[in-house]
Structure 1
Amino acid sequence: MRRAFRSAFFAVLALSAGLIASLEARADKLDDILSKGVVRITVFADVPPFGMMNAKRELEGFDVDMARLVAKSLGVKLELVPVPAASRIPFLLTDKSDMNIAAMSITAERARQVMFSAPYADTSLAVYGAKALAVKSGADLGKSRIAVAKGTTEDLVLSALAPSADIMRTEDNATAVQAYLAGHAQLLAANSVVVVELAKQNPAKEFDFKFALRRAPAHITIRRGEHDLLRWLDTLIFQSTLNGDLDELHKKWLGGPMQPLPAL
């Protein structure tokens, strides 16, 4: 009896030691970033004003400036990794980036794969088209083709709202916009802030609001389990809200002061 008890005791002890060693061996992403002196951040290159290429072929935009703020606050170099919407989470899961700052809004499905920071920007998603097109809800879509970037929140919401609609899913946001501008689609599902920029750049094209899909605050996303990094990001967002850094970014890129954001 005693021998069996001792064997069981030592087995549990060995298991606990192995578990502790495993946890200690597991790299902490925040420590890893600080140790390497570099943070890799995925951003958009085709979604103004969040991320786009300027005339010098340099990345700029709200999220790009947010990424620079993160790197500066960490005291490390910044490596920007431009990706299409559908690649944002895969790049995190395959360790091709340390975090995602690319206008990503929260969904329960995404939260099964990644963790979301507190929101840092507030936007909304909606459907747009020509003024003459009588569409006021998902039920009115009928045979009107609607362009949307694959893997975006607007794609997910639209698919659930109108599964039988003629949805033209493109590889990235720029292709969805071009499909609408060229007349290959009669409607466009997009971020409200993005549409403001598109209307300025394409005055001959109508971007009449048809119906809202959902409010969509933007969050920084990281791999599940990186709680130290998540806490640091939440702290940075809180500090940047208090000291006015986020307000300045809103005025610079989104056309107005930062409004109160919902708590996560």
Structure 2
Amino acid sequence: MKNTLKILSAILIICVSFCTAHAQGTLKKIVNKGELRVGLTADQPPFSMKNKQGEIIGYEVDMATLLAKSMGVKLKLVVLPFNSLIDALDGGKIDMVMSGMTITPERNLKVAFVGPYMVSGKSILTKSSILARAESTEELNEGSRISVAVLEGSTSQTFVETYMENVDMTKVKNYDEGINLVRTEIVNALVADYPFCVISAMKYGNEGMVTLDQPLTIEPIGAALPKNDPLFLNLVQNYVSSLELAGVFEMLSAKWLEDGTWMLEVE
């Protein structure tokens, strides 16, 4: 994998050299300043999270590191609440968002997207074996009323508001808060992206945490970029396409979604 990443870095450095003479907007600022600012929450395993040393690691952190290295600039990870990431991008506080963000038409009206580099979907994290056997929203709506937590401003909130009728919804600021509500049985379930639910079920399996066998929806995950910088968009799209062709997505998925040994590094 190291040799593959070196080759990709060399290819992208050539791309940047070609574009720099004509760069404007975000890309020009990144090159001139020598810094790429990537916004994320750092509490969305396996996309991004903090290890025991306080370092931010994860699937998207590896991708951002590759991009910054290939551009020959320093990577700066900017930790923000999920609900404020797009506003921070629009306000110029960050250069891009890589935080398990689903590509939606509503978001695409505000920002440009590159990807998808992962296909996810909605799932539930719960202690209830009955809920964990559900295969559709119709089954979740059957029976007694349930309480669920969702990340405020996320597509999970929209999903619950649109498709889950027989629920009481609690909006949380971060996933740690949502998990704790499930762990302490204040709510019956947390609705979140499927990879996050799978990883969390593995981590807290000794507490009876379980998730669905398959996601309830299919959702593309991508990087959000400023909408008015075609050169930056083109560069990052080429980068993501190069990673896909080189098989790096499969390597990252094996590392962060299948292996699980990285969980020994986090609290």
Question: TM-score with structure 1 length normalisation?
Answer: 0.81
Unpaired runs of 5+ in structure 2?
1-22, 260-267
Matching residue of 2:100 = 103
Report the Cα offset of residue 110 of structure 1: 0.8
Give the number of the structure whose alpha-carbon radius of gyration is greater.
1
Greater shift after overlay, 31-40 or 132-141? Answer: 132-141
Distance 2:214 2:166 in 1: 17
Matching residue of 2:212 = 209
Q: Is residue 133 of structure 2 the alignment partner of residue 131 of structure 1? A: no
CA RMSD of aligned residues (A): 2.1
Q: 1:49-87: per-residue Cα shift (whole Å, max 9, x none)?
A: 111110111100111111101101211110001122212
Taking a change above 3 Å as real, the CA distance of residues 141 and 186 of structure 1, as seen in their structure-2 partners, is: farther
Matching residue of 1:185 = 187
Percent of residue pairs identical: 27
Taking a change above 3 Å as real, the CA distance of residues 41 and 88 of structure 1, as seen in their structure-2 partners, is: same
Distance 1:102 1:81 in 2: 11
Report the Cα offset of residue 30 of structure 1: 1.1
Equivalent pair of 1:68/1:78 in contact (CA under 8 Å): yes
Q: How many residues align?
A: 231
Q: 1:145-204: per-residue Cα shift (whole Å, max 9, x none)?
A: 011111111112221223663111101111111111111100110121112221222122
Structure with the larger helix share: 2
Distance 1:240 1:174 in 2: 31
Paired residue for 1:82, among 42, 63, 79? Answer: 79
Equivalent pair of 1:127/1:210 in contact (CA under 8 Å): no
Unpaired runs of 5+ in structure 1?
1-25, 257-264
Taking a change above 3 Å as real, the CA distance of residues 181 and 249 of structure 1, as seen in their structure-2 partners, is: same
Distance 1:211 1:249 in 2: 20
Distance 1:28 1:213 in 2: 39
Q: 1:199-257: per-residue Cα shift (whole Å, max 9, x none)?
A: 2221222324288442122101012112111111110011111223222212111228x
Report the Cα offset of residue 141 of structure 1: 7.1
1:89-238 correspondence to structure 2 within 5 Å: 89-129=86-126, 130-133=128-131, 136-137=136-137, 138-140=140-142, 142-162=144-164, 165-202=167-204, 203-209=206-212, 212-238=215-241
